[in-house]
Structure 1
Amino acid sequence: MGELGLNKILGALLATALGLFGLKTLSDVVFAHGGEGHGASHEEEASLSEQMCEKFAYCIEVAGSGGATAEKEEVFDLGALLAAADISRGERTFKGQCATCHTVDAGGANGTGPNLHGVVGAQKAFHEAFNYSGALSGLGGTWTYEDLNHWLTNPASFARGTAMSFAGLRKDPDRINVIAYLASQSPDAPPFPAPLAAAGDEAAAAPAEGEEAAAPAEGDAATPAEVIEGAADSVTETVTEAVTDTADAATEAAEKAFSEDAPTPTEEEGE
């Protein structure tokens, strides 16, 4: 056997040995917690995932294992804020910020601004005796809670060109309390809008028209332990295939080396 053939065999055997060593190491890592099964804690599952990631670059993101959580976007829930509003504080804010131009009692006189008794739910520019600006009288529609919130936040933004010089109530609590107070002074005011959470729950609970509510699935979601176990099986299978292929290659190389180095029979020997 020549030196080249021997080198081929030794290289193939070395590759096989490395593959077997890798398979053994993988087994030690994956099955070290085998007796704990699905009852393993999140910390143990995360540790197993980290070991696999470090040793084999096979990284698995396990839900709930300490990853950074996305910050919740703050949502302005007008219905919830109105439900928790303080009407007495709204009255004080109204008297301090609005009473210079407006009255709110039934039958009250118009001032620099119109009387606001009954404003919630009423048509915009509803006082016939008051000379509204074209910017406001041209809006149309009724004073909904959403429109009042926008109007009192920034009147110039809601009705561009309005004659009202008031800058607005920029603090949410002050503005919401004033709206609730105005609603208490409006006999025909509609109910407060439903909080977003309650509205979302009702929408989620109600099935679409013509459809039946789907029963909650049981046992469909894989646990973190099951995810890791499945990944371990996949890696084990991959390494096993690699070792088998390497062993086959070593055998083939050895056979080829022996056939190349075997002495060729002479013509006389063949006869």
Structure 2
Amino acid sequence: MFNTMTLTKVVGGLCGTFLIFLLGNWVAETIYHVGPSGSHGENEVAQAYAIEVADAGGESEEEAIPFADVYAMADADAGAKVFNKCKACHKLDGTNSTGPHLDGVVDRQVASLDGFAYSDALAGLDNAWTPEHLSEFLASPKGYAPGTKMGFAGLPKVEDRANIIAYLATMPN
């Protein structure tokens, strides 16, 4: 039942299938050629058309309002909801976790808690966590203190930052 002729047909079928796939790949690369030498995007290619963006380099409207004005209208209850993003690393009960506890953080000296190993980036700062400094830090932790251990990307909305700072200001030390 299984002889040399059957084995030859099976091997021939597999080789033929492989050849079809190779030829299909060659045809697809020829039809969908990208780049000047088939480099698949390694060289920059000019766009077919440009999309105009209004006021691309201008300052956003939310940053045009001074932070002090936004902070004056902040809602601590809304800040409690935003704080849910922080709960994974920070506590409000006076105990440190992955990050230092945040009760009493508003107007506290930066890197001033005993028993927490701050990064050199934060330990080197000599200022207090005023609402303005907290807002700058929360907007971009790595931009404010390059080398910080805090892996959070930041809060881009100034309202969210003001609300969470207002919430943290209600937490006793």
TM-score of the two chains, using structure 1 as the length reference: 0.40
Q: Which amino acid in the other structure matches residue 124 of structure 1?
A: V
State the shift of 1:145 in Å: 1.3
Runs of 4+ in structure 1 off by over 4 angstroms are: none
C-alpha distance in 2, partners of 1:76/1:147?
Answer: 16
The SS at the match of 1:164 is coil
**Which residue of structure 1 lines up, in the alignment, with residue 87 of structure 2?**
99
**Which residue of structure 2 lines up, in the alignment, with residue 144 of structure 1?**
130
Deviation digits for residues 158-208 of structure 1, max 9, x if unmatched?
001101100001112211100111111146xxxxxxxxxxxxxxxxxxxxx
Q: Which of 83, 107, 112 matches 1:126?
A: 112
Which is higher, the Rg of structure 1 or of structure 2?
A: 1
Q: Which runs of structure 2 are paired with 1:243-254 in the superposition (5 Å)?
A: none
List alignment gaps of at least 5 residues for structure 1: 1-72, 188-271
Q: Which of 133, 146, 156 matches 2:142?
A: 156
Q: Is residue 170 from structure 1 mapped to residue 159 from structure 2 by the alignment?
A: no
**Which residue of structure 2 lines up, in the alignment, with residue 77 of structure 1?**
66
The SS at the match of 2:162 is helix
List alignment gaps of at least 5 residues for structure 2: 1-59
State the shift of 1:126 in Å: 1.4
Q: Which amino acid in the other structure matches residue 166 of structure 2?
A: A
State the shift of 1:76 in Å: 2.6
C-alpha distance in 1, partners of 2:160/2:169?
Answer: 14
Q: Which amino acid in the other structure matches residue 172 of structure 1?
A: V
Q: Which amino acid in the other structure matches residue 139 of structure 1?
A: L
Question: How many aligned residue pairs are there?
Answer: 112
- Contact kept in structure 2, 1:120 and 1:186, CA below 8 Å: no
Q: Structure with the greater relative contact order (CA < 8 A, sep ≥ 6): 1 or 2?
A: 1
TM-score of the two chains, using structure 2 as the length reference: 0.61
Root mean square deviation of aligned Cα? 1.5
